[in-house]
Chains A and B, each alone.
Chain A
């Protein structure tokens, strides 16, 4: 049963997202050493639709919903979810993105178990992708690089997501980004168990020769929007991890004694707590700025620049949280080590800091 929410009522939607995060999701993940089974992730997907987090259809509301002003809701909700469990947050984010993409591109797929692959097989397409997205002319080398970069038949891509039987994938037809939706059974999918981070999701490498370029739906502008929203979602989830790290580390430091005193009174620990807090505050300010932006090419460049420094900072503070816990931090049952791994994964998804920096430099070169 799909429950309709009053559109425009961000407060109500956020309250519902909070209820989902704390009352539905949190009890399922209270033992971080136990990996949430995929069947449970599937069940949660349905519950997220009921809670208004996921759009019930192409015209629905929720994360990355069609209505104006939903970016703010999406960022706040993903941060809330990331605070509780990064993997489920990523899964719901990508599902919502897939729904939006289908609606935008008029893709015919109807599966509710769908994954999205925006990146090619390695990096961010060096100088060629920013040139394409900025609307600048491509030379022959650019075209060849992008053709190879997006060639899903030749190169395996890393795909992370919940249970999926369809994949929305970006390609390149020599001039534009093109989109395809392919069924899982048309792809060569190699599950990659024991991957770093997002234990509750499936990480796999995927090849697909059935993707015929240029048969896809052209949409470079949609790629800009999708890439922007994906990066924004990754950033919001990372902010949630930072919030979680701060809460865990603060609570632990406030009750753990060393040398007869609580460790949160020692400068060595205060430095680390302060750094975590500073990163959380920075995230709040940066996300607030992006809430007011539209997914334009310029906003994408701005976001890439911010992410190139934000994600390394998140990794540093996740490590700080672990360090405050000492030996306990290294053990799976305290939950901090998962934050470290998930933060690492978010750093390398959607472009690593090095790739993002190159993307921004190339973007600005033609100004």
Chain B
């Protein structure tokens, strides 16, 4: 109920309360919050009284609370020691509007210092250097009178407290420092001037209990001190506080009587216009304290101390980057090694293949070639790469006609994107000779799948062709031999068959003759019987002959369309080794567009083979330079003529008549059947085989065959 009433009252008076704007004064609470409020509330009340539009209040701030309060604009005015003030001035544009006049007894003074003291019985402690190895208790690192001033004096005496003293520690408030020294917990303490005197006055201590170290006198300063003097605490406005209010407060403070109750309460003697705080600046500069912590010569250690986190992170970053770089470099090196190895392997594979391999771009130029390619063609890689492969390798067809680039299968490959295989073609060597080849051409694509050339793999098929030719030749020879041996067997079979009746006839007749000669009687019947047997044996022989004829007729060969030029080319191919061996110079004159013949190709080939072999053999006696063979094909109106002419001795007139007869031969080895069989074959085809020869002028044989329609 009471609470509600209070709230109601507060509510009623709110407009009144609003009329007086609250103003806060932050005060460094160096002796504890209670003491601070007790000392300074009077001053706030005084200001509220003088400036009724405002309601001033005190906010005690511990050392570490000062900066956040200013920074966060939690206070409008600030009352702190000069060192803190200098910092705030520099960092937060705080500006002093009055300097406190301190009071001691009846005197007022606006400077203060620091006092370093020990327990009175420590006779050993007189000068600052006596404290080396000892312990020192101060108020706070930011306390001007309670630490910094003493520090400055230590340094001036060549003593680095942190280095030379066993321990430097901080108690937080002046009073605690004094009590700690009094209790003997530390060797010495330092507080601002007047603390000892005030505590003594308050009865907390007795001044006799302490001795002052490095005691300073003079300058008309009444209090115990060990350091130089510095201006007293300034009363300052914080940046956001209006200048008008600041001026009003400044005037109010300046007008505060020396003995105003608020001043008495605060143990001061009013305020003066703000003093010069240069000595404080000097001190801070000397001690390299904020805001002068940067002004000293930067040593690497300082850099490290100040920026170690950055440096450390930087260093780590640098290390990571270095590591990464190394890793990337190594990866790169490994990749390039791998690439190199791959390329080497690639090249090794390419070069170890016996087939020629080369690449072609869409312009038709070679992009790469392998070793086999160089070896087969005689062209070097640098003579091929970037050059048009078709005009180097492929310019002319096997039959000697030019091979236009548009028709090159390799180019077709990347035009229609289809692989090709050509099993019989020729490539040209650098030296102008040609090589029979089979090759495949495969399109190659770029990363986008677009055809950007072709790879050609080719093989020298000289051996293959030679082997095929040899196989063919072998087969032909076999066929020839088998034909001959069939003939031989048949001949021998016929001979045996005929021999039987002939032997019987011979025996019977000779026996009969003997009988008749001997003149025996009564043998007539017997003789007639024998003669009948003779007659029947003769008939038996006749039957054998008839059977033979029937047998031969059964072997009527099949005919088909024959390109006589093709036949001649095949024959020449087949006979090439023999021609070379015999040193015969062959001249082929084949008329283009010969009509097809309806013939038995094996038989015609047999005829051509017989005539050609005869011709080769006929020139054996001649010097090599004059062994010439001409094979010519031509079309006569309704006939086809093939002429085989040698440059041999010819055939003399006597032989010419019988040369086509069986078993007539001019050769030391031979059955004399070649020409007779050949004539029989040609005549069987409805043609004629003519001899045109004169002794010493070579032999010319002409095969004339009618151009017949199929089935004719």
Whether A and B are associated in the same complex: the answer reads no
Show the binding face of A for B, using Cβ within 8 Å: none
